[in-house]
Amino acid sequence: MWNPFSHHRRFALHNRTPSNCCIPLKISLIGLMCAMMITMLMINDNVLCIYTSKSFSISPGTQSNVIDLESSGFGFLNGGTMKVNITTKSSADSSNLVFVMIPFSFWFVLNSAKWDTDAIYTQYLCDVPSTLRVPVTSQNSDAILSSPSIGNVGNLEISDQTFSISKSIVVDSSTHYSFLLLKCDPYSPKTDINVKVDLELINPNGQHLSTQKHPYILLFFVLMVAHGGLLIYLLFFFLKSRRHIYRLQILIAVGIVLQIISYSSVFTYFEYMNVIGQISDALDITLSVIGTFGETSFLLILFLLSLGYSITDEGMNPKVRLLFSACFIGYFGSRLLYAFCNGSSICYIFFLSFKLLKFVITFGAIIAMNQTIDKLRIQSAEQQFSNDNQSEVFIKMKKYKAFRWAFLLYLIGPVISLFIQYTVITWVNYWVLTMVEEALVFYINYFIVKNFYPQPFNVPRTHQD
C-alpha cells in the first residue's frame, strides 16, 4: 500500500434537541469537501526514487524542447557527486541539445508558469545561467566518437556518427537540483534522433537516495515494526475472546498484515535504491501491486466499519452490496492496471478512475457512518428510561461518534500536509509530510483495534465465524 493515509477524533451525545438532527448533514458536507480535496491533492504523485538511465526519441517540432530527467529533483549533501553520460548521433548537432543542471526551486517556478512547448520559454532556459551546462554536440571537446565495430549501446545503433559525452561535478553545498535536456533549436531536427542519458547521483558515503528521501528508510522500518506490534495487540484479544471473533475483526487483522507487507516492501525498495542506485522494474511493479492490496484492504475496513458490519447489522442490503462490490472491484482493478501501466496515454485514464472511485468510496463511508449512528441513536432512545447509561447500544454509539471524527481527521490529513509543506518546512524535510500522513494511518488503525476488538457484543450469530 503505497499510500494509505489516515486520521481521527471523537464526539459526545445525549442532547436530542432539533439542532442535533443537522449534525450528520453538516458532517456529510464537510466530509464531501474533504474527500474532494484529498482526491485533488493526490492527483500529482511524485516519483520517489532517482532516475538513472533512459533513452529518448526527439522528434521534429516543439514537442520535446524540455526533458526533465528527474521529476522531483535530487537533494545533494555537501560533497555529493553528479555523473552524466550522453550518447547520440552527430545528426543531433543541428538541434543544439544542451544538458543543464539548475536549482530545483528555480526550475519549479518556471515549469509552473510555462509549457515546455513554448519556444520563448525554452530559449530562456537555454540562455539562463546554470550550475552546469554541457552542449551535446560531436564538436564538443569531451565528445568521444565510437567505432562501428563496438556494436550496440542500449537501443542505439553504433556507427561512425555515434558519440558520447561524459561529465561529472562535485557539489560544494547542500542544494536541491533539477537536471534538464534542452533542445535549444525548437524546430530541429529534420528527422527523429535517439538520445541515451545515463545519470548517476550520489551523496557522500555512496548513498544514492536524495537527501529529502533518505529518512524514508528509517520511517518505513518504524512503521513496519509499529504495525507488527499492533497486530500482536489484536491477536492478544483474539486469544482472550475466542468466542467473540467476528468477520470484521478477521478482516481488520488481514488488513494490518497486508499493510505490514506493504511497509516492508517500501522499506526494501528504498534500501535497494540507496545501495544499488538503479530502479528495478520488477521491484517497482511488485511494490505497486502490494500497495494496491494494502490500500484496498484499508478502504474496505473503513467502509465495512462505517456500515456497522458485524457490529450493528447482520449484513448488507442487496443493493448496497451490489454498489459496494462494483466500487471496490472497479477501484482494485483500475489501481492494478495502473500499477502495470507502462507510461502510455491510457495510464492517465486508469489513474483518474481509481482516484474517482476512491472519492466515491470515501464519501459513501461518511454517509454509511451517519446512518449507523442514527440507528444507534434510535435504539439508545428506546433505552433511555432503563437507567442504564452504559448499555451496549450507548457504548457502540459513543465509539462510532468518536470514529466519525477520527475519519474526518483522516480525510483532512493531506490538507494538513499541504499547509506544512508551504508554511513550515523546506525541501530537506519533505519526508516529514509522509511521516505525518502515515502516523495518521497508524493512529486510525490503532483506533479501530482498540475500540472494535473482539468482545461480547450482542450481534446476530449469523455474523460469527
b/e map 24-59, b = 16+ CB within 10 Å: beebeeebbebbebbbeeeeeeeebbbbbeeeeebe
Q: Is 119 helix (H, G, I), strand (E, B) or coil?
A: helix
Q: Is 190 helix (H, G, I), strand (E, B) or coil?
A: coil
Residues 314, 394 within the same domain? yes
Q: Is residue 256 part of a domain?
A: yes
Answer whether 179's CB lies under 8 Å from 69's CB: yes
- Do the bridges between strand 152-153 and strand 193-202 make them parallel or antiparallel, or are there none, so unpaired? unpaired
User: Is pLDDT above 90 for 156?
Assistant: no
Residues 183, 247 within the same domain? no
Note down the domain range covering 92.
51-144+160-202
Q: Is residue 4 part of a domain?
A: no
pLDDT in tens, 358-383: 888 988 888 988 888 888 888 777 76
Residues 177, 214 within the same domain? no
Nine-digit cell string for 113: 508558469
Choice between 63 and 26, residue whose per-residue pLDDT is larger = 63
Residues 184, 271 within the same domain? no
Q: Work out the average pLDDT over 402-413.
A: 88
Answer whether 82's CB lies under 8 Å from 172's CB: no
Residues 363, 342 within the same domain? yes
Whether residue 135 is preceded by a cis peptide bond, meaning omega within 30 degrees of 0, is no
pLDDT in tens, 48-71: 334 467 777 777 665 557 888 887
Cα separation, 352 vs 44, whole angstroms? 11
Using a cut of 0.95, tell me whether the model's pTM lies above it. no
Residues 175, 315 within the same domain? no
Instruction: Name, of 21-30, 243-252, 444-453, the range with top average pLDDT.
Output: 444-453
Choice between 339 and 26, residue whose per-residue pLDDT is larger = 339
Cα separation, 39 vs 187, whole angstroms? 38
- What is the reported pLDDT for 258? 93
Placement of cell 480525510 in the chain: 411
What is the rounded end-to-end Cα distance, in angstroms, of the chain?
27
Q: Is residue 188 part of a domain?
A: yes
118 band by pLDDT with thresholds 50, 70 and 90: low
Cα separation, 167 vs 455, whole angstroms? 66
CATH code of the domain in which 351 resides: 1.20.1070.10
Residues 228, 194 within the same domain? no
Number of domains in the chain: 2
Q: Is residue 40 part of a domain?
A: no
Answer whether 77's CB lies under 8 Å from 92's CB: no
User: Is pLDDT above 60 for 32?
Assistant: no
CATH code of the domain in which 71 resides: 2.60.120
- What is the reported pLDDT for 428? 84
Q: Work out the average pLDDT over 237-249.
A: 77
**Domain boundary residue, one of 169, 202, 235:** 202
pLDDT in tens, 317-345: 788 888 888 889 999 999 889 888 876 77
Q: Give the lowest-confidence range in 20-29, 101-110, 397-406.
A: 20-29
Residues 244, 175 within the same domain? no
Residues 252, 399 within the same domain? yes
**Domain boundary residue, one of 202, 236, 252:** 202
Closest CA to 193 of 106, 277, 89: 89
Residues 229, 287 within the same domain? yes
Mean pLDDT across the chain, nearest whole number? 76
119 band by pLDDT with thresholds 50, 70 and 90: low
pLDDT in tens, 192-228: 778 889 888 888 878 888 888 889 999 999 999 999 9
Give the C-alpha distances (Å, rounded to integers) separating 413 from 42, 131, 193, 355.
11, 37, 45, 16
SS (H, E, C) 277-346: CCCCHHHHHHHHHHHHHHHHHHHHHHHHHHHCECCCECCCCHHHHHHHHHHHHHHHHHHHHHHHCCCCCH
Work out the percent of the chain whose per-residue pLDDT is above 70. Answer: 75
